Structure 1
Amino acid sequence: MPSRSDDPFARALDEAVVRINAAVRAVEASNPVVLIDGRSGAGKSTLARLLAERWPLRGTPQLIALDSIYPGWDGMDAGSDRAYDQILRPHGRDLVGTWQRYDWETGEYAENHAVDPARGVILEGCGALTPRAARIADVRVWMESPEPSRKRRALDRDGDLFRPYWDRWAAQEARHIRRDTPIDLATLVVPVP
């Protein structure tokens, strides 16, 4: 098994965590909000998990994946809106937020989850970084990766579950990128091979 230093993807994520942690510390707040956006397969979930494990501040951040909020395969915009209304806006006002997990198997929203305004938030997923979310977030990350690499990683991860929806989801990503220009809103751009 190759070491992390031999794996360009793992090395890029490790370097990104170091950069993001420096940005989090520079905020000088106990409850910063970090948004991680990028197209499918860019490594958002892995980066967010690593960041949560290596969080540079006291306490544990609240890690929330937009995959848990999107209402199905056509729900990128709706998931982004719900995350803003239920997580980011209350947190920015020092209020407890509550978001509901979407159950992909039943096609319905399920249990509620509270968001503590005293703790940091890591929100990851395509559609996380929009102009209104950028105004609330302390650290804004855009992950940039070539399509062949992204597609390989996404389909290796989700296989036949995602394969029939790749183009449909990619069209929503493209619309988000055209409309919201998340790379321009980012405080950090993370290149991933």
Structure 2
Amino acid sequence: MATPAQQRSFSWLAKLINESEPRCGDVRVVAIDGQGAAGKSTFAARLRTALSATTPSTVVLHTDDFASWDTLFGWWPRLEDQVLTPWAHGEQARYRRYDWETREFGPWERCSPPSVLILEGVGSGRLAAASRLSSLIWVQTDQATRRRRAEARDGEQLREFWQLWIDAEEQHFRQDPTAGRADITVDGDPAVALDDPEHYFLPGG
């Protein structure tokens, strides 16, 4: 069992984020980055719950909404143009989410600037985003655990894609070593049990 000194609460993290400087207009952008199947989506959902109790509005966007089969990592200009730049000027974002099954972009959506944007996904904390980010969180999980999670989540039919993805993300992080710039590193597969994983997490090394 993790000791109180080892654990941090999501409410503690929410307080840090609320006290951080907004760098995208009035929006505080929090990137949750890490390799595939590290546990980023789960962490983002729990952080959103904590932030929703203390902020007027919190929005979660996933990099998978902007990536596609044609460009796994070349989606940043679209996110910048459609979401971050409008919000930096206090205007509504207008964007389309990618559907990985139909391989098409969905209908246009609009969203007013929130208090906090949680941008979750591989590549969310890239260097190109640095000027927009109020916080960068890195979720660290070993490859064997991530591979097991991915196969349980996606099934055998995506095994070939998973290998393609691993190669692409390794190349991305060689060119852009995001983990070294993180404000907080999170253990995505803690060896010690947490009191309440919905409310607490274990910082990594």
**What's the TM-score bracket when you normalise by the shorter of the two chains?**
0.7 to 0.9
Q: 2:168 aligned with 1:172, yes or no?
A: yes
Distance change in 2, residues 1:19/1:83 (3 Å): farther
Q: Which has the larger radius of gyration?
A: 2
Q: Which one-letter code corresponds to 1:50 in the other structure?
A: R
Q: Does residue 20 of the first structure (1) align with residue 13 of the second (2)?
A: yes
Residue of structure 1 equivalent to 2:54: 57
Task: Give a deviation string over 1:34-86, Cα, whole Å, max 9, x none.
Answer: 111111110111111111111153323111111122112x5222233322332
Is the 1:36–1:129 contact (alpha carbons within 8 Å) kept by the matching residues of 2? yes
Superposed CA offset, 1:130-157 (max 9, x none): 1121210111111111001111122212
CA contact (8 A) 1:130 1:185 kept: no
The percent of aligned pairs where both chains have the same amino acid is 29
| 2:78 counterpart of 1:82 | yes
- Aligned pairs for 1:27-176 (under 5 A) are 27=20, 31-55=27-51, 56-72=53-69, 74-176=70-172
- Cα deviation for residue 18 of structure 1 reads 4.4
State the SS of the aligned residue for 1:54: helix
Q: Which runs of 5+ in 2 are unaligned?
A: 190-205
Post-superposition CA distance 1:6-27 (Å, at most 9, x none): 9xxxxx9x84734532321221
Supply the RMSD in Å over aligned alpha carbons: 2.4
Distance 2:143 2:11 in 1: 25
The Cα of 1:161 is off from its aligned counterpart by: 4.5
The whole-number CA distance in structure 2 between the counterparts of 1:177 and 1:169 is 12
8 Å CA contact 2:36–2:146 kept in 1: the answer is yes
TM-score normalised over the length of structure 2: 0.78
How many residues in Structure 1 have an aligned counterpart in Structure 2? 182
